[in-house]
Copies of this chain bind each other. A is one copy, B any other.
Amino acid sequence: MIRFYNGSVLTMIENDGVRSCEVWTDGDRIAFVGVPSQKQLEETVFERQIDLKGDLLMPSFKNAHTHSAMTFLRSYADDMPLQDWLFKQVFPMEAKLNDERVYWLTRLAILEYLTSGCTAAFDMYFNLDAYVDACVGSGFRSVLCGSVSGGPERASEAEDNFKKYNGKNPLISYILGFHAEYTCSKELMAAIGELAKKYQAPAAMHSSETKHEVDECIGRYKMTPTQLFDSLGIYDFGGAAFHCVHLTDEDRQILKKRNVSAVHCPASNLKLASGIADIVKMQQAGINVALGTDGPASNNALDMFREMYLMTTLQKVKNEDASACDAQSVLRAATVGGAQAMFLKDCDVIAVGKQADLVVIDLQRPNMQPQNNLVKNIVYSGDKTNVRLTMCAGRVLYEEGEFFVGEQVQTIYAKANSIISEMKQE
């Protein structure tokens, strides 16, 4: 048992507010939430007692869309037009990746997730075995997203991965999916729809990220990507759509009806000049909204505080309404909304039996003072200096600036730097 005491707790259970209580974890789960009796305290053997010193314990953040291994492209290809970025920098460099490189580059990304209080990533990339090794080795949770593209022959790969990675490790799951409409044949997308029905499983993909993508899809199919996916039965058992910058009212009705989460990636949408998604309309339609960083090539940070801040302020300027998209709805998206979009039903709130995926927010920093409103402080002025401790599945992976991830940080940095320098020379 690990005991968190002497602080406050934000359970993220609706209308629960900030509570003054303790949280105990047992193995990978939360075992107790409340004010213990003296007898309970005396009878319990704690492996560790963590004095919150007045700080706040809350559910960790969930990064609902990313490509973790793209850390190698950080600051490598910025400030250039999008087509040059993609065709001259990203694609040629990605072709040089292999298992070992993906392993170390993912390791680097996980360190950064932990510094921003994030314990799970919904990741779409290649070299899945290496990626899984990096996550499991770090103690970090991940949901793999199918990333097939091309012709229908790739569907069997998706089915194989679905069977291979689900149930392999408690930290790992796999959601059916494909890259995007514009990189897949209709036959492949239909085949993923068939698999969704066969396994009664949700599916996820990039969708409606750019206006160009939507226009081209309408040109090909006389339907938006959302309408097309729905018509192919891909959303019959729910799912998640990454980006959703350019949706119609009908698209939003489909997402709501089919129980598909919209994963908002505000920093990436700015940097790649994709636009600003209409979160207010999504919220009004009752769609579950989650938050993602996207990959480091298009962000460049992997920082959930940045995404939270952008989510609310961009809605204000887009809607010319300073009251749009309030802090509570943003914090929900970064935690509960993310868990829902990633189908991590036990990782959403602080309650007995839930996974112990937790973060301690340091309130004794100037940006958290005065304490007029803790939720607003976190969303509007919070940053990574406020992450005191990050716990995933009951294990402390990051605390007071130090990492506990089974590899030395300096080794990870050195590997990442030597990999990028090799790749530049190849």
- Residues in chain A within 8 A of chain B (CB atoms): 71-72, 74-76, 78-82, 85, 108-109, 111-112, 115, 267, 269-276, 296, 299-303, 306, 309, 312-314, 316-317, 319-327, 364-367, 369-373, 376-377, 380-381, 383-385, 401, 409-410, 412-413, 416-417, 419-420
Contacts and interface: CB of A to CB of B under 8 A. Distances in A.
14 contacts: A72-B370, A80-B323, A81-B321, A81-B322, A81-B323, A271-B322, A273-B322, A299-B381, A300-B377, A306-B383, A364-B413, A366-B409, A366-B412, A369-B412
Contacts of A71: 369-370
A325 B270 CA distance: 13
Contacts of A313: 267, 270-271
A366 B108 contact: yes
A272 B380 contact: no
Chain A to chain B: the 7 pairs with minimum beta-carbon distance, closest first: A75-B376, A111-B366, A112-B366, A301-B381, A300-B380, A79-B326, A270-B313
Nearest to A328: B79
Contact of A413 (B79, B319, B369, B413): B369
A75 B381 contact: yes
Interface centre among A269, A369, A372, A383 (most CB of B within 10 A): A369
A420 B78 contact: no
B380 A383 contact: no
A323 B111 CA distance: 29
Contact of A321 (B273, B365, B410): B273
A371 to B, nearest CB: 6
Contacts of A327: 78-79
Contacts of A302: 367
* Copies of this subunit: 2
Q: Is the interface of A mostly helix, strand, loop or mixed?
A: helix
A269 B306 CA distance: 17
A76 B373 contact: yes
A378 B43 CA distance: 51
A273 B316 CA distance: 6
B381 A384 contact: no
A373 B376 CA distance: 34
Nearest to A322: B82
Contacts of A75: 372-373, 376-377, 380-381
B372 A76 contact: yes
Contacts of A324: 79
Contacts of A370: 71-72, 74, 108, 413, 416-417, 419-420
Contacts of A316: 270-273
Contact of A365 (B78, B115, B275, B367): B115
A369 B300 contact: no
Contact of A367 (B271, B303, B373, B416): B303
B78 A317 contact: no
B79 A417 contact: no
A208 B93 CA distance: 44
